[in-house]
């Protein structure tokens, strides 16, 4: 989850988010260098003597400041496009989960092998136990096995919602009457938090998403337990 006053990204939980982090670092370095160059030019111009006021043209510098930005843009665009197509790859998912947005909770359905479905409501602040996070905890978490490609089919039952988990690099709109698909692999066991990312009414801020990644043998135990409960 995000820490208080955190500006940067959360630690990556999936390979896709790792790639996004690396691309972000790369783009930020380019931005830093350009900013440094602009700052240097400003200082140079402010401290320059007022000679050479009648310079009309200079072919060399015109070529430089046309070619250099083109090269910089290519350096940024190539990794960006690579990640864009990487996000659309479908890696033969082992598990399919349906995430449906309602006002104002999420419901998850695991219908691959047995009929398992449950709702996920936010835990109100007064019901939190010590150590739990305000406005982020849910009573039932979406549990997935680690190191297994998973597919989430996202839709909505009433109005627009958006299913987002920043640590996994996932955000997909939940549109009534439409199925949006996203696939991901979680690298490590853990709990990853997200929040609804499309305005959907009064309690839009109070329908969090909690994804819990656990090893496969524990996942099988969990499905059996949840099937008995429901």
Partner 1 sequence: MAGEEQENNNNKGFRLLGILDVQNTPCARDAVLHGAGGSLGAGLLHFLTTSRVKRSFDVGFAGFLLTTLGSWFYCRMNNAKVRVQQRRIQDGIKNKIILQRTPHPGSRSEKKEILNRLQNFFLGSCPNLHKILRLFQASRLAHRRVTEVRRRLVYSDSSRSND
Minimum CB distance to partner 1 smaller for 71 or for 202: 71
| 6 makes contact with partner 1 (CB under 8 A) | yes
Contact segment (CB under 8 A) with partner 1 among 15-23, 105-113, 135-143, 172-180 equals 15-23
32 binds partner 1 (CB under 8 A): yes
Residue 22, interface with partner 1 (CB under 8 A)?
yes
**Does the footprint of partner 1 cover residue 36 (CB under 8 A)?**
yes
Q: Does residue 150 contact residue 95 with C-beta atoms inside 8 Å?
A: yes
Which residues, including other chains, have CB under 8 Å from residue 225's CB and lie 6 or more apart? Answer: none
Picking from 171, 159, 167, 224, the residue whose alpha carbon sits closest to that of residue 197 is 171
CB nearer partner 1, residue 36 or residue 230: 36
Interacting span for partner 1 (CB under 8 A) from 25-33, 59-67, 117-125, 220-228: 25-33
Choose between 27 and 153: whose C-beta lies nearer to partner 1: 27
- Least separation in angstroms between CB 160 and partner 1: 33
Distance between CA 200 and CA 41 in Å, rounded? 48
Among 148, 195, 134, which Cα is nearest to 170's? 195
Region class of 201: left (phi > 0), else alpha (psi between -120 and 50), else beta: left
Residues that bind partner 1 (CB under 8 A): 3-8, 15, 18, 22, 25-26, 28-29, 31-33, 35-37, 39-40, 44, 147
């Amino acid at each position: 989850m995000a820490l208080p006053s955190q500006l940067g990204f959360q630690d990556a939980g999936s390979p896709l988010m790792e790639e996004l982090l690396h691309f972000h670092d790369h783009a930020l370095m380019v931005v830093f260098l350009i900013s440094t160059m602009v700052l240097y030019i400003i200082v140079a111009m402010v401290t320059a003597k007022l000679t050479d006021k009648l310079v009309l043209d200079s072919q060399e510098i015109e070529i430089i400041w046309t070619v250099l930005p083109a090269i910089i843009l290519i350096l940024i665009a190539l990794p960006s496009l690579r990640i864009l197509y990487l996000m659309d790859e479908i890696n033969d998912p082992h598990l399919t989960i349906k995430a449906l947005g309602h006002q104002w909770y999420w419901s998850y359905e695991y219908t691959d092998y047995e009929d398992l479905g449950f709702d996920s409501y936010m835990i109100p602040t007064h019901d939190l136990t010590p150590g739990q996070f305000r406005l982020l905890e849910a009573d039932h978490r979406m549990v997935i096995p680690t190191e297994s490609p998973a597919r989430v089919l996202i839709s909505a039952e009433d109005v627009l919602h958006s299913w987002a988990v920043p640590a996994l690099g996932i955000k997909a709109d939940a549109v009534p009457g439409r199925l949006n698909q996203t696939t991901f692999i979680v690298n490590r066991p853990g709990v990853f938090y997200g929040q609804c990312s499309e305005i959907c009414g009064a309690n839009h801020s109070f329908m969090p998403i909690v994804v819990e990644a656990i090893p496969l043998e524990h996942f099988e135990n969990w499905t059996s337990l949840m099937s008995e409960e429901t």
